[in-house]
Structure 1
Amino acid sequence: MLYALNSTLNFIKLGQVPERLKMLIDIPVYNSQEVLKYIWENNFELKVKDDKNEIVLIANKAGLISLATQLLTLAQDSVPAGAHLHYDENNSLEDGSKDLIIQKA
């Protein structure tokens, strides 16, 4: 089945596609004169914790969609190596979270 997200973040059926899900996501076009833009879905929740030898990212649906949008923004060909996204308690993560930096190679 082919699905898309509607405005209330629910998946709606569009047609037949076996074992795949397609989503339409708007990402901001990178501008080298500006910083990377973070787009957040309403009511997003993200938490990063350190669990022994693992880093665990916990997110609700809106948080996962927000993170996907930001990763696709970072993945644009025009974004240079070394560009990064920084997440911490002051700008996006839940209280008690570890800081998270995702950097383009």
Structure 2
Amino acid sequence: MEIDVPKYDRNIGLQLCWHPGFSIKVSSDNSEVTISANREGLLSMASHLLNLAQADVLPGTHIHLDEYNSLEDGSQSMIIEKV
């Protein structure tokens, strides 16, 4: 299995790779958060996490996802941030 992780460029910022057909839903119940995804969604999330983990990516860099930006309808918003 290969996961595409674009090399980080400070002049461009993060470049997210989405696998065709991805589906990701985020829900929460009390103190638990559930991320539900198909194979393509999981591969996309893995790429995003590896993207943030690159050495040149500065702390505070983040990815904001919600139902209007890549997540399924009815999803809770989610922020993934490098610290």
Instruction: Sort the TM-score into its range (normalised by shorter chain).
Output: over 0.9
Q: Could you tell me which residue of structure 1 aligns to residue 25 of structure 2? A: 47
Name stretches of at least 5 consecutive residues in structure 1 with no aligned partner: 1-22
The one-character-per-residue Cα deviations of 1:6-35 (angstroms, maximum 9, x if unpaired) are xxxxxxxxxxxxxxxxx3222100000112
The one-character-per-residue Cα deviations of 1:51-98 (angstroms, maximum 9, x if unpaired) are 121011000000000000111010000000000011011110000000
Letter in structure 2 aligned against 1:102: I
Which structure is larger by alpha-carbon Rg, 1 or 2?
1
Q: Could you tell me which residue of structure 1 aligns to residue 39 of structure 2? A: 61
2:36 is aligned with 1:89: no
Q: Could you tell me which residue of structure 2 aligns to residue 79 of structure 1? A: 57
What CA distance in whole angstroms lies between the structure 2 residues aligned with 1:49 and 1:26? 27
**Structure 1 vs Structure 2: percent identity of aligned residues?**
47
What CA distance in whole angstroms lies between the structure 2 residues aligned with 1:24 and 1:93? 23
Deviating 4+ runs (over 4 angstroms) = none
Structure 1 residue 99: Cα displacement:
0.4
Name stretches of at least 5 consecutive residues in structure 2 with no aligned partner: none
Letter in structure 2 aligned against 1:71: L
Aligned partners of 2:4 and 2:17 also within 8 Å: no
Tell me the TM-score normalised to structure 1 length.
0.76
Pairwise CA RMSD? 0.8
By relative contact order (CA 8 Å, sep 6+), the higher-ranking structure is 2
Tell me the TM-score normalised to structure 2 length.
0.95
What CA distance in whole angstroms lies between the structure 1 residues aligned with 2:37 and 2:48? 14
Please give the secondary structure, in 2, of the residue aligned with 1:58.
strand
